[in-house]
Amino acid sequence: MNNSVMNTTRLLWAGLRALLVLTLVTGVIYPLVITGIAQGLFHDKANGSEIKSDGKVVGSSLIGQSYNLPLKKGQETPEPDLKWFQGRPANGLGSNSVNTRYKLLLSGATNLSADSKDLIQQVKDAKAAVIKDNSVPGWTVRPSEVPADAVTSSGSGLDPNISPAYAEIQAHRVATENGLPVARVEKLVKDHTQGRTLGFMGEPRVNVLELNIALKDLVANRS
């Protein structure tokens, strides 16, 4: 056989063996060891930071949810349940189209550009809805009070947080809908506001699921 063919074959064979050995090290041993340590030391976090209410798992503190009323007949998009604090829009969230055995959450952003007509419309509609939903008799939300995160979709579509400003403008509505004093709900928001990590990392935020769980407890204990 030709010498150069022989050499190439030998080289590719060495390459394959190198790949298999390194796959064993970095693709089998490494993830298994890390999983072992993670499951041993940080069991809850390694499994998705699940969070309970009344003894039942109601989601993950890291993954955003929707707080909507059940779909009525003929409706395509559900209406928000105004009793609960609402998260950010998630217009980029997809649904599984490849393997329809599952209803997987498909993370994602809208990817619409800053000059996109669709995005301008989405933002305007969202702003109008936020103002309408959160204005209660005797207290009107002004357009300038609506923060940017309330009218834009997040990068993952699963943002678990809202800005404190967005939580605060929802307080009057939530208080009215649940028959609670406004001051009590505002205090609840304050208690669930997380500042920047070490005072400078990231942005202040409110975890919507944790806030709603606390709200639920508050409503239940009221009577």
Partner 1 sequence: MGPVLAGFLQLLALIGALALAYVPLGNYMAKVFSADKHWRVEMWVYRGIGADPDAKMRWPAYLRGVLAFSAVGVLFLYLLQRIQGVLPGSFGFSSIEPAQAFNTAASFVTNTNWQSYYGEQAMGHIVQTAGLAVQNFVSAAVGIAVAVALVRGFARSRTGELGNFWADLVRGTIRILLPGAAIAAIVLVACGAIQNFSGIHEVGQFMGGSQQWNGGAVASQEAIKEFGTNGGGYFNANSAHPFENPTPFTNLFEIFLLLVIPFALTRTFGVMVGSVKQGYAILAAMCTIWLGFVVLMMWTEFAHHGPALQAAGGAMEGKEVRFGVGSSSIFAVSTTLTSTGAVDSFHSSFTGLGGGITMLGMMLGEIAPGGTGSGLYGMLIMAVIAVFIAGLMVGRTPEYLGKKIGSREMKLAAIYILITPALVLVFTAISMALPTPPHSMLNSGAHGFSEVLYAFTSAANNNGSAFAGLNANTDWFNTMTGSAMLLGRFLPMVFVLALAGSLAEQKPVPVTAGTLRTDKPLYAGLLVGTIVVITGLTYFPALALGPLAEGLA
CB of 130 to partner 1, least distance (A): 11
Whether residue 160 contacts residue 61, with contact meaning beta carbons closer than 8 Å, is answered with: yes
57 CA to centre of own chain: 16
33 sits near partner 1 (criterion: CB under 8 A): yes
Angle between helices 164-178 and 182-191 (to 10 degrees): 140
Residues between 153 and 172 that touch partner 1 (CB under 8 A): 153-163
Residues between 101 and 140 that touch partner 1 (CB under 8 A): 101-116, 119-120, 122-124, 127
With respect to partner 1, which residue has the nearer C-beta, 150 or 171? 150
Q: Which stretch binds partner 1 (CB under 8 A): 40-48, 133-141, 168-176, 178-186?
A: 40-48
CB of 19 to partner 1, least distance (A): 5
Residues between 192 and 211 that touch partner 1 (CB under 8 A): 196-203, 205, 209
With respect to partner 1, which residue has the nearer C-beta, 61 or 135? 61
**DSSP conformational letter for 60:** E
With respect to partner 1, which residue has the nearer C-beta, 105 or 218? 105
With respect to partner 1, which residue has the nearer C-beta, 52 or 181? 52
In angstroms, the Cα distances linking 35 to 29, 39, 47, 50, 62 are: 10, 6, 10, 18, 20
Q: What count of other Cβ atoms lies within 10 Å of the Cβ of residue 102?
A: 9
Q: Which stretch binds partner 1 (CB under 8 A): 4-12, 130-138, 176-184, 185-193?
A: 4-12
With respect to partner 1, which residue has the nearer C-beta, 121 or 181? 121
Instruction: Report the alpha-carbon distance of residue 78 to residue 75 in Å, rounded.
Output: 7
Q: Which stretch binds partner 1 (CB under 8 A): 46-54, 133-141, 169-177, 182-190?
A: 46-54
DSSP track, 62-97: TS----BPPPPTT-SSPPB-TTS------TT-EE--
Instruction: Report the alpha-carbon distance of residue 85 to residue 211 in Å, rounded.
Output: 8
